[in-house]
Amino acid sequence: MSMIEKLDVVARDAARRLATCDYVRVVSHNDADGITSAGIICNALYRGGIHFRASIVSHLDEEVIKGLNDQMIVFCDMGSGQPDLIAQLRGDIVVIDHHAPAATDVKYVQLNPHLVGIDGTFELSASGAAYTMAQHLGDNIDLAGLAIVGAIGDQQEMVSANKDILSEAVEHNVITIGHGLRIGDGDIAEILEYSTDPYLDITGDAEKIHALLNELNVHGNIGDLNPEELRRLASALVLKVAKTSADVAESLIGERYELNREVIQDAFQFRNLLNACGKFKNTGLALSLCLRDDSAIDEAKRLYLGYQKKVGSELKKMDIKEVKSIRYAYSSDKDVAGTLAGTIIRYIASDKPVLVLIKHDSKVKISARASKKLVEKGVDLSIAMREGAKQVGGTGGGHSVASGASIPSGEETKFIEAVDAIITKQLGEMHEM
């Protein structure tokens, strides 16, 4: 039995449990992967005549658990790392996640690619796992576009299980694959002014952006550019990004995915809007987009521009410090920490993992990011953040390439020292091999 077939067996079991319910509570994470996961499940439940209530949250903790007393609860893009919390619930539980499981011997259904040999960090996201289950709740192939948006949201590649979903989507005309700049859709000047993916040396400077576009003689909407205009623009952007990261520069141009069934056609733009809505806590608006409510588009675009302005403003203020094996910086805006860390590792400094710390009440929240190259060299941020946080009385975890932690205020120096030591050891052990 192949890995995909093994995952499908678990997906079928989870779907059978949901199919017998009159009502399902859905709890999901507030990033693009979590929101698309919830969107897939909610669409499938609605089509099956099953009532549901969805909650989109920033993290799973005691407060979230206390508010749940439903008979059937589905967790999306969270749960595998918190078995102790989920064990407190009395209802029937399905966990759809792609984070490394903290426990495998659990009494609830755990639909997680890691458990069948699929790399949940790079090869299948939570939305992909949710899509696999949705296929057993009815004819839901048209939801494959949401699964691909979720994978893009977690910086995953179209390989292994993701490639299988993409191929199925293309075969059924759910997605059309094109080639070009992977920076979303819309007015070129506006995209470049507020873009953090890519983050350019002219981001936020309207005057320099207009000067560049005048020099290239490229204006208007990206979708309206002819091949020669697109080539000029792409070449200029790749040259700018290549100054800091050749790998990321190469990823700027490649496959683009047109979503033929969704209210936002460009998959990368859809990812951007969902992330912005999630971070601004307008998760109902984000889920509406996944439920194909086109009345939510204009407001989502407005939120996205506001979010990008916040990220750009914070980046310009940040003082990035460096120790032996990591970089770290403080930010005052808890809504953009993950995006800040991701932008720094991709476009500013990619040779060491990056931690962004946010002081919030009596706690300090940390978002950490590494590059795939660093992971290949032995870095595992999930372990580093979990063990580092534990040493100072906090909690942490996530993926090898992207992770987070929460620690008591005042313990930042000890935490940074601990994580630096762990990362140094990880790199040293890999080098010895």
pLDDT at 201: 84
C-beta separation of 51 from 23 below 8 A: yes
pLDDT at 247: 66
pLDDT at 254: 85
Structure tokens at 121: 């960090």
The structure tokens 């697109």 sit at: 230
Q: Which residues pair with 258 in a beta bridge?
A: 176, 266
- Gap between the Cα atoms of 411 and 257, Å rounded: 44
Burial class of residue 102 in the structure, from the number of CB atoms within 10 Å of its CB (0-12 exposed, 13-18 middle, 19+ buried): middle
- Gap between the Cα atoms of 26 and 296, Å rounded: 21
- Gap between the Cα atoms of 24 and 123, Å rounded: 28
pLDDT at 379: 96
The structure tokens 């426990």 sit at: 103
With a CB cutoff of 8 Å and minimum separation 6, the contacts of 187 are: 220, 221
Q: Which residues pair with 402 in a beta bridge?
A: 369
The count of other CB atoms within 10 Å of the CB of residue 106 is 16
Sequential DSSP letters for 356-395 = EEEEETTEEEEEEE--HHHHHTT--HHHHHHHHHHHTT-E
Structure tokens at 36: 């698309």
- Of 354, 330, 353, 339, the closest CA to residue 409 belongs to 330
Q: Chain centroid to CA 189: how far? A: 26
Buried residues in 152-173 as b, exposed as e (16+ CB within 10 A): bbbbbebebbbebbbebbeeee
Measured over the CA atoms of residue 112, residue 164, residue 269 and residue 246, the dihedral's sign is: positive
**Strand, helix or coil for residue 99:** coil
- Of 270, 268, 301, the closest CA to residue 178 belongs to 268
Sequential DSSP letters for 135-158 = TTSSS-GGGHHHHHHHHHHTT--S
The structure tokens 């601004």 sit at: 280
pLDDT at 297: 96
CB-side exposure of 270: number of CA atoms within 13 Å?
Answer: 31
Extract the runs of DSSP E, i.e. beta strands, from 107-188.
109-111, 175-181
Q: Chain centroid to CA 102: how far? A: 20
C-beta separation of 209 from 189 below 8 A: yes
Q: Would you say domain 318-432 falls under CATH 3.10.310.40?
A: yes
User: pTM here?
Assistant: 0.89
Q: Where are the domains of the chain?
A: 3-172, 183-311, 318-432
pLDDT at 135: 96
Preceding peptide of 198 cis, ω within 30° = yes
Q: Beta strand 354-360 with 327-331: parallel, antiparallel or unpaired?
A: parallel
- Looking at domain 3-172, which of 3.90.1640.30, 1.10.287.130, 3.30.420.10, 3.40.50.1820 is its CATH number? 3.90.1640.30
The structure tokens 């079928």 sit at: 12
Rg (alpha carbons) of the chain, rounded to whole number: 21
pLDDT, tens digit only, all 433 positions of the chain: 678 888 999 999 999 999 999 999 999 999 999 999 999 999 999 999 999 999 999 889 899 999 899 999 999 999 999 999 999 998 899 999 999 999 999 999 999 999 999 999 999 999 999 999 999 999 999 999 999 999 999 989 999 999 999 999 999 999 999 988 888 778 899 888 888 888 888 888 899 999 999 999 999 998 888 989 988 998 998 888 877 666 676 678 889 999 999 999 999 999 999 999 998 889 999 999 999 999 999 999 999 989 988 998 899 889 999 999 999 999 988 889 989 999 999 888 989 999 999 998 889 999 999 998 999 999 999 999 999 999 999 999 888 999 999 999 999 999 999 999 999 999 987 655 4
pLDDT at 183: 84
- Of 28, 38, 85, the closest CA to residue 59 belongs to 28
Q: Rounded to a whole number, what is the largest CA-CA distance in the chain?
A: 64
**Strand, helix or coil for residue 101:** coil
Q: Which residues pair with 418 in a beta bridge?
A: none
Identical topology for domains 3-172 and 318-432: no
